[in-house]
Amino acid sequence: MAMNVEVAKCTKCGKLSYPTHFYCPSCHGTKFEPVPVGGEGRLLTWTRVYALPLDYAQLYVTLGIVELDMGVRATGRLEIAEPKTGARVRTHIGKVREINGKDITGLVFTAV
Amino acid sequence: MRDVAIVGVGSTQFGRAQWSLLKMMCEASNDAIVDAGIGERKIDAVYVANMGASRNNRMAGLSSGLVDRMNLYPHTVSETIENGPASGASAIKHGVHSVASGYCDLVLVCGGERMQEVNNFEATEFVSYLSHRYAEYPYGVTLPSLAGMFTRLYMERYGVEARHLAMVAIKNHLNGAKNKKAHLRIPITMEGILTGPDALNNNPWIAEPLRFFDCCPVSDGSSAVLLAPAEMVKEFKKTPVLIAGMGQATDSQAVQDRPDPTELTAVRMAAERAFAMAKLTPKDIDVAELHDAFTILEIVESEECGFFKKGEGHKALERGETQIGGKLPINPSGGLKSRGHPVGNTGVSQIVELVLQLRGEAGDYQVPKQPKHGFAVNFGGFGNNVVATVLKRGV
């Protein structure tokens, strides 16, 4: 199952939004074209989470919010041993979770 | 529109429930009815606040269950309000609107949550449903993880240190130890949770930089208030407390979507609206119950509500201004941190605690100098749905 990791580009004003909203936050347009999330960005903040919800076998997961160069922010899984805020990261699509035995894919960030 | 007053309050013990969810809610409701002394007067409406009964307790339409157990059928209007962790204050708001408009006279608002019926993984999972369905939830984002990322950013930007977070926990545990109904009545020390050799064992990481004692417990509990028009307060036993102002605001669901993720805009806006309605300012407030689901939130909410400037909340805490006996006591009841956080009920329990303070009935944790104005923030999601309330002793 691939989660919605596409950025919505408003066909009227060109504004990118992620996550998507029904109306464009800039011009209230309702038509969008999908743009793949990708490229590099800067780590805004992060956490190592030990109190995990259901279906996790590991001790912790590392999560972060990244400011992507393409102009949106995204939350995702960090595969970085010692993250530092402000660090440059690269975007990948990979497995981020298992729910009811099914793999969920989403954004994974690694060090540049 | 009519002014609305609180004429009765009640609450169960918080912690691990000895009773079923509905039995807890009956006990809290009955306490409020006895407290008010309603005599033969009929309750016109029942508003129930709950977040997790459908998932955790396999119950839906909770208000019908409460009306049934309390024998309030068939005349009573009733409904259940689910607004995440802000359900409690939202239900009170609906009660206030119904009395203010003249639709009802005597209204019972009862919050109830029984979270310990499921294990901690299930409880964490259920609360994480508050996160954004596509941008946050699939990554295992939980409320503590949003709080962890928020805390790191806030610490770096405003110079808040781990010891400030610990000070919130220590203060609120000290307060809660004096509250017989609190969940965690254990005083804690800086050495025990942060600086001593056993600190990491006593206080392990939950979502860095937050540790165990930075997070509220998973609690069961129920609280209730009785609302009546101000013109009727003489018919009841206790000193009435006026709902002077209520405000609410809704922010983006995903934290990443906010122009500045260190701002809790919905808290600020809800507080501004509540103060405007009450025609009061933050300087008028004598006691506050803030939504300290995580220690950082008490500090940041105290700033967003206008009690301290942005970036100054932790300094006021350090100066002792928010202790019982300080300039502005915050969470004298122990807050969510120590009193506990039965999610859907918390907003009701905050108002119950403020009413006790304004009446002078809070006993060992009573704020001195007869407080006149109280203030509460009930915070839903990670700040995406917030209700603020201003209370005033007398009508």
Residue B356 CA to residue B339 CA, distance in Å, equals: 14
Do A31 and A43 have their domain in common?
A: no
Nearest residue to B382 (alpha-carbon basis) of B163, B244, B210, B168: B210
Nearest-Cα residue of chain B relative to residue A76: B139
The tokens for A77 are 């899984």
Q: List all residues of chain A from 46 to 85 with a beta carbon under 8 Å from chain B.
A: 46-54, 56, 60-61, 63-65, 73-77, 85
Q: Does A107 touch chain B (CB under 8 A)?
A: yes
Do A90 and A70 have their domain in common?
A: yes
The tokens for B346 are 């918390």
Do A52 and A89 have their domain in common?
A: yes
A17: containing domain: 6-35
Do A31 and A45 have their domain in common?
A: no
Closest partner residue to A50 among B156, B206, B257, by Cβ?
B206
A contact test, residue of B118, B139, B251 with most A CBs within 10 A: B139
Q: What is the pTM of this model?
A: 0.97
Question: ipTM of this model?
Answer: 0.95
Nearest residue to A17 (alpha-carbon basis) of A31, B349, B243: A31
Nearest-Cα residue of chain B relative to residue A61: B140
CATH number at residue A54: 2.40.50
Do A15 and A59 have their domain in common?
A: no
Helix B295-304 × helix B162-176 angle, to 10°:
100
pLDDT exceeds 70 at position A2: no
Do A95 and A61 have their domain in common?
A: yes
Q: Does B4 touch chain A (CB under 8 A)?
A: no
| Shortest distance, CA A106 to any CA of chain B (angstroms) | 7
Q: Does B103 touch chain A (CB under 8 A)?
A: no
Do A105 and A79 have their domain in common?
A: yes
Is A102 a member of any domain?
yes
pLDDT at B40: 87
Do A14 and A43 have their domain in common?
A: no
pLDDT band at A1 (very low <50, low <70, confident <90, very high): very low
Do A22 and A55 have their domain in common?
A: no
Domain boundaries, chain B: 4-119+218-235
pLDDT in tens, chain B (395 residues): 999 999 999 999 999 998 999 999 999 999 999 999 998 899 999 999 999 999 999 999 999 999 999 999 999 999 999 999 999 999 999 999 999 999 999 999 999 999 999 998 899 889 999 999 999 999 999 999 999 999 999 999 999 999 999 999 999 999 999 999 999 999 999 999 999 999 999 999 999 999 999 999 999 999 999 999 999 999 999 999 999 999 999 999 999 999 999 999 999 999 999 999 999 999 999 999 999 999 999 999 999 999 999 999 999 999 999 999 999 999 999 999 999 999 999 999 999 999 999 999 999 999 999 999 999 999 999 999 999 999 999 99
Contact A48 B207 (CB under 8 A): yes
Which SS3 state, helix, strand or coil, does residue B241 take? strand
Where does chain B have alpha helices with state H?
21-36, 62-69, 87-100, 120-128, 143-158, 162-176, 190, 199-202, 265-278, 295-304, 313-318, 335-338, 346-359
Which residues pair with residue A77 across a beta bridge?
A63, A108
May I ask the CATH architecture of the domain B4-119+218-235? 3-Layer(aba) Sandwich (3.40)
Is A1 a member of any domain?
no
Burial annotation A5-23 (CB, 10 A radius, 16+ → b, else e) = bbbbbbeeeebbbbbeeee
Contact B121 A54 (CB under 8 A): yes
Do A23 and A56 have their domain in common?
A: no
Nearest residue to B10 (alpha-carbon basis) of B175, B184, B226: B226
Closest partner residue to B139 among A48, A50, A106, by Cβ?
A106
Residue-wise DSSP of B310-349: TT-HHHHHHTTTTSTTSSS-B-TT-HHHHT---GGGHHHH
For chain A, what is the domain count? 2
Do A66 and A90 have their domain in common?
A: yes
Do A67 and A100 have their domain in common?
A: yes
Contact B128 A53 (CB under 8 A): yes
Q: Does A23 touch chain B (CB under 8 A)?
A: no
Is A59 a member of any domain?
yes
Q: Does B334 touch chain A (CB under 8 A)?
A: no
Q: Does B289 touch chain A (CB under 8 A)?
A: no
